[in-house]
Structure 1
């Protein structure tokens, strides 16, 4: 897909003057300060910056897991600020795939069940959800893990199951917090290739990473420092 085609997509995610403040008074911490960011369909964006710069906070706000102190988060034209918690959860379940640093797999469920559960919660029949889950696992090269439980997998295998869960169904926005952190370099490149392919097919993705080499896969690199967006550069993916 050409750069021009990628950039022609509509905005999937918009952060409009978004700030997040934790605590009050002397304990007040400004995690994000007036962030403006737009990610369009087809774009793969990396968020980088030192520890404590607000990277993970940006993802949790973008994913509707927390609310902004001021400003607005908009998903496919729908502002999250005025929605109930239940309505935000529905948007998150249907439109957003989220890869957590700590995987967040349910211990009592197999890999197939962990990956398929978002679809079942949306009312998709169990047989179809299972088929979609198996396809997602296969895309990550781990279809053979389908019947294993999380405690029967390595950290890297759990990471890939979590990524498969984030990709199942028609997820228009994928948010990934250090998605290759538990993976060896070869497997990490495979995962980045899968995320890149999803963007080339029309999704939008935002990835928090500390690995500068990952810039080769993305369209833009956004640099945060002290809760502010201080720089944007073109990634290698935009030159494909």
Structure 2
């Protein structure tokens, strides 16, 4: 059995207190292993994005534990957490999070440079990632010179460049047409087949079908999971969580 890359143990996240208290996640357990792509589905407000932000160390859990390659995130200070994210975690945000003052290639190369990769090598990796995305022509363009779909693909290239062991993607195909969305999913699937672990939030069963299994959230609770080889079960459960 492959090594766990991500482990969520009784993960809980609560916002506010008293009458304003909201339970975004309620005791979620999830293990994602090397070579595995897991899709997360559920209705709006079910806790999908919260699960990703916690798994990537971008927010702090109220209870439970998060481990990346056996390292508990709770044991890291801010500097250690930032280093782990740069080295091991690729994150695709819904709103791209590209730096406006940097070109596409510079946005992709920056995390690698911060982790000690020489500038020339980081640039070469960035250009290669853009070529794989079919975006070689935007290497020297700034975000405001690109379409939304191009920005999304640049953000995905940034998440996949280098030796990221964990890739977290929040609706990675949201700004893309169907054909480009399939290309992106093929890349994500390929990265997992090469040994990374992936977690992807999606509301589209056709994209979830690229995953090895699908987990379903409702009201912050993991209510079900199914292997994507069981297509009928996947579609039925997806309809039931809308």
TM over 0.5: yes
Q: Does 1:56 align with 2:49?
A: yes
Instruction: State the TM-score, normalizing by the size of structure 1.
Output: 0.94
Out of 16, 26, 34, the residue aligned to residue 23 of structure 1 is: 16
C-alpha displacement of 1:237? 10
Q: How does 1:1-240 map to 2 (within 5 A)?
A: 8-236=1-229
RMSD: 1.2
TM-score for the superposition, normalised by structure 2: 0.94
Which 5+ residue runs of structure 2 have no aligned equivalent? 232-242
Q: Distance in 1 between matches of 2:97 and 2:131?
A: 20
Which piece of structure 1 moves more, 85-94 or 14-23?
A: 85-94
Query: Is the Cα contact below 8 Å between 2:10 and 2:29 reproduced in 1?
Result: yes
* SS of structure 2 residue aligned to 1:81: helix
- Gap runs ≥5 in structure 1: 1-7
CA contact (8 A) 1:218 1:236 kept: no
Q: Is the 8 A contact 2:10 2:27 kept in 1?
A: yes
Runs (4+) of structure 1 exceeding 6 A deviation are: none
Decide whether the 8 Å contact of 1:219 with 1:237 is kept in 2.
no
Could you give the per-residue CA deviations for residues 20-40 of structure 1, whole angstroms, max 9, x where no partner exists? 001111111000000000000
How big is each residue's C-alpha offset from its partner over 1:172-230, in whole Å with a ceiling of 9 and x where there is no partner?
00000000000000000000000000010000000000001112211010000000000
Give secondary structure in 1 for the equivalent of 2:75.
coil
Query: What SS does structure 1 have at the residue aligned with 2:98?
Result: coil
Superposition deviation, residue 108 in structure 1 = 0.6
- Whether contact under 8 Å (2:202, 2:208) holds in the other structure is no
Task: Give the SS at the match of 1:51.
Answer: coil
Which whole-Å CA distance do the structure 2 matches of 1:63 and 1:93 have between them?
Answer: 10
* Cα contact 2:14–2:22 (8 A) shared by 1: yes
